[in-house]
């Protein structure tokens, strides 16, 4: 196999026609190289969570033509894959999970031999191996399974409007293989297009340019519309995303807007009205926004994450609609992913921190630019507290899972999605910023995004880039960048951004813990971040009188702000506070966001006879409403079969 000949002539001609100039072809489709070696051949570039062999055959483009079957809860149709091949390539290996393969043909419609390997029994699924016989394009006719992990099919009553069903996908980390047969590795970037048909009354949106926003009538399928999409930039396959339901749209600016169910649209538009200012601030920091539009989609409450940075169309949870913009840092985070994560992507899930650590740092800089330094400092200080709590939960500073670069072979890549990747990664970058100065760091980071645009990255690649383009003299060794990335714990030089405003809050925590007097709490004047600092800083053991005083004074059981409600309920459950039981039940039945749901069930199960029967009863009712990502975590905590 001659890797130098990876791009076969016909594939090169096809890509050249699609992408433009010969230079663009090299930039977009040439195999990523590290020090003259294919990134896929390097130790850090080999993806153990994919069956693909990109050194032999690599997917460069995916073309989907699918029917969204709401009755059967399946995506049914075809995926046509364009490939680049090594000189002696004989087969292409794709990732799949539960897919029903019906036919595989080449670009001329001739049948190709294929074999579905044994399913791993876990999230990795099974390899789909196709004998190429020289084919540089394969067309797969297939259907997803009704229980495809990436897809959540909601009944009308599970939506805000209650009239139409709803569908959404969540592909990260390796779930898109459950509805798209492709090489499901973040390092194998692919352009794509799609034609999706859905019933009348259902609007389809995807993470791409929307070519037919209102859909097209289909002559031979009365009662259905077809929606077409195109993504010309090569992206990581986990970023292919779809949603479909009763959706309305409102412009927020020249290149931004929000989709939501009609009853939620006005509230969403008000909450996100600063998005154009955020985009401008981000561009001033680190360069041009390269994805055209930046729209948001507010999903039903079953969505398992706070947000997902799907290109051109960020998916967000309705739990951030606090009514006062106090939780919009999440939007700043997803916007920042347009550079860190979407533009420059971790090559494998062992380096998830390359996506999230950079994004948390960038998010904080956007918040500082738009809302001021005090706000940014409070957010960073809360992040530090989250990191320290995660370090403790992982077993302390010696735990190998406190490393930035992880070894997740044989594990679910979701195991690496902890606050270590997010917050320790951001602290690492702040430590570098303080060492070299903000001006030099910003100049390097802006150029870093340009140099590595639309390419995968590894920790080793980042270190090489920093040593070549950022550090002077012995700065890299003085900071200890290898220690930060490859060793567990938290180095002594870690920069902890501390908020001056939290000093008064910490004083109030001490006073209330000692006296129980709510008069020492300046709740009405505090921001959401100060309130969170207070609730999370209170002793975990509190008497009923103090808990009642807090709840009755500040109406915490019915708090509209989801972060405040969550912090309060964790405290209430830890103290087996009966007056919060109804609030716990309503909260857990009203949403599926894993960040909130999983810790509350864990707290209930830790509360013995007070919490365990309660947890099982709620989970039996709530489980059908949750996405597979959420149930995959909670199932390990609440064993329904035991009771």
Spatial contact of 449 and 380, defined as CB atoms under 8 Å apart: no
Apex 207 CA angle, 229 and 143, nearest 5: 70
Average confidence (pLDDT) over 251-255: 96
The pairing of beta strand 313-316 with beta strand 294-298: parallel
The model carries a pTM of: 0.92
pLDDT of 298 > 60? The answer is: yes
Whole-angstrom Cα distance, residue 191 to residue 17?
A: 13
Spatial contact of 228 and 194, defined as CB atoms under 8 Å apart: yes
Lowest mean pLDDT among 10-14, 282-286, 583-587: 10-14
Torsion of CA 95, 96, 100, 106, to 10 degrees: -10
pLDDT in tens, 300-326: 999 999 999 999 999 999 999 999 999
Task: Please tell me what DSSP assigns to residue 111.
Answer: B
pLDDT of 5 > 80? The answer is: no
pLDDT of 513 > 60? The answer is: yes
Average confidence (pLDDT) over 450-455: 96
Average confidence (pLDDT) over 130-154: 96
Residue 470 has a pLDDT of 98
Average confidence (pLDDT) over 480-493: 98
SS3 276: helix
Lowest mean pLDDT among 6-10, 291-295, 379-383, 433-437: 6-10
Whole-angstrom Cα distance, residue 68 to residue 217?
A: 15
pLDDT-above-70 percentage for the chain = 95
Residue 537 has a pLDDT of 96
SS3 545: helix
Distances 102 to 99, 115, 140 between C-alpha atoms, Å: 9, 11, 8
Catalytic, out of 40, 422, 448, 626? 422
pLDDT of 137 > 50? The answer is: yes
Half-sphere exposure of 157 (CA within 13 A, CB side): 2
Q: CA quadruple 342, 345, 349, 352: dihedral positive or negative?
A: negative
Instruction: Please confirm, yes or no, whether 486 is among the known catalytic residues.
Output: no
pLDDT band at 32 (very low <50, low <70, confident <90, very high): confident
Cross-strand pairs, 462:
none
Residue 369 has a pLDDT of 97
Closest of 138, 79, 74, 66 to residue 107, by C-alpha: 138
Whole-angstrom Cα distance, residue 593 to residue 299?
A: 11
Catalytic, out of 209, 309, 334, 433? 334
Closest of 263, 300, 258 to residue 275, by C-alpha: 258
pLDDT of 35 > 90? The answer is: no
Whole-angstrom Cα distance, residue 531 to residue 631?
A: 30
φ and ψ at residue 126, rounded to 5 degrees: -135, 150
Residue 219 has a pLDDT of 87
pLDDT band at 494 (very low <50, low <70, confident <90, very high): very high
Domains of the chain, first to last: 3-30+48-246 (2.60.40.1730), 347-486 (1.10.390.10), 541-642 (1.25.40.320)
Whole-angstrom Cα distance, residue 397 to residue 1?
A: 44
Element (H, E) at 439: helix 438-451
Site of tokens 């950022």: 470
Residue 23 has a pLDDT of 40
Residue 30 has a pLDDT of 56
Whole-angstrom Cα distance, residue 151 to residue 169?
A: 5
Residue 38 has a pLDDT of 87
Element (H, E) at 83: strand 74-85
pLDDT band at 431 (very low <50, low <70, confident <90, very high): very high
pLDDT in tens, 143-193: 999 999 999 999 999 999 999 999 999 999 999 999 999 999 999 999 999
Lowest mean pLDDT among 5-14, 206-215, 369-378, 568-577: 5-14
Angle, helices 501-515 vs 528-537, to 10°: value is: 40
Average confidence (pLDDT) over 1-7: 29
Whole-angstrom Cα distance, residue 219 to residue 178?
A: 30
Instruction: Please confirm, yes or no, whether 164 is among the known catalytic residues.
Output: no
Question: How far is Cα of residue 473 from the mean position of the Cα atoms in its chain?
Answer: 37
pLDDT in tens, 360-386: 999 999 999 999 999 999 999 999 999
pLDDT band at 14 (very low <50, low <70, confident <90, very high): very low
């Amino acid at each position: 196999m001659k890797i130098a000949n990876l791009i076969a002539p016909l594939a090169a001609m096809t890509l050249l026609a699609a992408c433009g100039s010969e230079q663009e072809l090299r930039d977009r489709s040439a195999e990523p190289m590290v020090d003259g070696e294919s990134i896929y051949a390097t130790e850090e570039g080999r993806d153990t969570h994919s069956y693909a062999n990109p050194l032999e055959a690599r997917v460069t483009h995916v073309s989907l033509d699918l029917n969204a079957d709401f009755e059967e809860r399946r995506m049914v149709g075809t995926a046509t894959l364009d490939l680049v091949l090594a000189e002696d390539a004989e087969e292409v290996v794709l990732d799949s999970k539960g897919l029903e393969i019906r036919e595989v043909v080449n670009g001329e419609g001739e049948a190709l031999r294929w074999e579905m390997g044994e399913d791993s029994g876990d999230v990795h699924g099974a390899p789909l191996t196709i004998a190429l016989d020289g084919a540089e394009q394969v067309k797969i006719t297939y259907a997803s399974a009704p229980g495809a992990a990436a897809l959540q099919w909601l009944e009308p009553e599970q939506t805000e409007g209650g009239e139409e069903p709803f569908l959404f996908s969540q592909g990260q980390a390796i779930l898109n293989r459950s509805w798209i047969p492709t090489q499901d590795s973040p390092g194998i970037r692919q352009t794509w297009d799609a034609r999706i048909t859905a019933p009348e009354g259902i609007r389809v949106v995807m993470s791409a340019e929307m070519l037919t926003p209102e859909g097209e009538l289909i002559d031979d399928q009365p009662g259905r519309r077809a929606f077409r999409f195109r993504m010309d930039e090569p992206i990581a396959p986990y970023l292919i995303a779809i949603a479909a339901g009763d959706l309305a749209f409102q412009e927020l600016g020249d290149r931004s807007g929000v989709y939501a169910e009609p009853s939620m649209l006005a509230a969403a538009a008000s909450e996100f009205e600063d998005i154009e200012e955020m985009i401008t601030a981000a561009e001033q920091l680190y360069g041009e926004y390269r994805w055209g539009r930046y729209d948001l989609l507010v999903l039903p409450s079953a969505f398992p994450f706070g947000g997902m940075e799907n290109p051109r169309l960020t998916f967000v949870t309705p739990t951030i609609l606090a009514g006062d913009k106090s939780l919009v840092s999440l939007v700043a985070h997803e916007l920042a992913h347009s550079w860190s994560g979407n533009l420059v992507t971790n090559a494998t899930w062992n380096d998830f921190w390359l996506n999230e650590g950079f994004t948390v740092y960038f998010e904080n800089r956007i918040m500082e630019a738009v809302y001021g330094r005090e706000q940014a400092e409070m957010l960073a200080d809360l992040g530090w507290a989250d990191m320290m709590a995660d370090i403790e939960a992982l077993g302390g500073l010696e735990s190998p899972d406190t490393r930035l670069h992880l070894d997740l072979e044989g594990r679910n890549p979701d195991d690496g999605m902890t606050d270590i990747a997010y917050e320790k990664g951001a602290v690492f970058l702040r430590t570098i910023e303080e060492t070299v100065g903000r001006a030099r760091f910003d100049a390097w980071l802006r150029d870093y995004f340009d140099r590595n645009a639309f390419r995968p990255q590894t920790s080793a690649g980042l270190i090489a880039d920093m040593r070549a383009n950022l550090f002077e003299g012995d700065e890299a060794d003085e900071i200890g960048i290898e220690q930060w990335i490859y060793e567990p714990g938290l180095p002594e030089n870690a920069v902890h951004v501390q908020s001056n405003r939290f000093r008064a809050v910490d004083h109030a925590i001490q006073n209330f813990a000692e006296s129980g007097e709510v008069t020492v709490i300046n709740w009405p004047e505090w921001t959401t971040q100060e309130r969170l600092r207070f609730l999370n800083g209170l002793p975990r053991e509190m008497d009923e009188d103090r808990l009642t005083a807090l709840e009755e004074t500040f109406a915490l059981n019915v708090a509209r702000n989801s972060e405040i409600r969550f912090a309060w309920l964790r405290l209430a459950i830890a103290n087996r506070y009966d007056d919060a039981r109804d609030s716990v039940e309503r909260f857990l039945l009203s949403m599926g966001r894993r960040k909130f749901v999983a810790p509350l069930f864990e707290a209930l199960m830790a509360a013995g006879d007070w919490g365990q029967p309660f947890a099982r009863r709620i989970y039996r009712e709530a489980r059908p409403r949750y996405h597979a990502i959420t149930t995959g975590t909670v199932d390990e905590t609440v064993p329904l079969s035991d009771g």
